[in-house]
Structure 1
Amino acid sequence: MRIRVIDILDLLAAGLNQEQILTELPDLVNEDIEASIKYARGKINHSVFAAFNQLLRSASIFPKP
């Protein structure tokens, strides 16, 4: 069964932990969840996103962390 990265990320965003996701999607293993997170991180760790994030942080309407 093919499970999309976005489906795993949506479950994580909804508050499910890895055990709950594995129960929900029994064809997965822990490494699949970790690989999904690493894949997504690689996609958003792009120079365009980094520049946009820097722009947001420099805007006075957004608080700095």
Structure 2
Amino acid sequence: MDSKQLLDRITINPEVMIGKPTIRGLRITVEQILKALAAGITVQELLEDYPELEPEDIQAVLLYAAELVSEEQVFEVGTGT
């Protein structure tokens, strides 16, 4: 599955989860999955806990997060000294 196909799995709908990015329109947010992974929950555990998820959904979440981070820009702020 290519990047576009993966990113197409991430949906944003103002009527679902107040417009937060979700997986395939389900009531499972990108944020939920990222926080679960950061807390040490394994992909296998996520797939067991959310049987509607597919392994490609987890890949899509990680790619989506990577794309957002790649767009970040950091600017040095002068101290005035």
TM value normalised by structure 1: 0.69
Gaps of 5+ in 1: 56-65
Higher relative contact order (CA 8 A, sep 6+): 2
In structure 2, the gaps of 5 or more residues are 1-25, 77-81
Length-normalised TM-score, structure 2? 0.56
Figure out how many residues of one structure are paired with residues of the other and give that number.
51
Identity of aligned residues (%): 37
Structure 2 distance, partners of 1:44, 1:35, is 14
**Greater helix content:** 1
Tell me which protein shows more strand as a share of its residues.
2
Residue deviations 1:2-48 (CA, integer Å, cap 9, x gap): 21100110110010111011011111000000000000110011241
| RMSD (Å), alpha carbons | 1.5
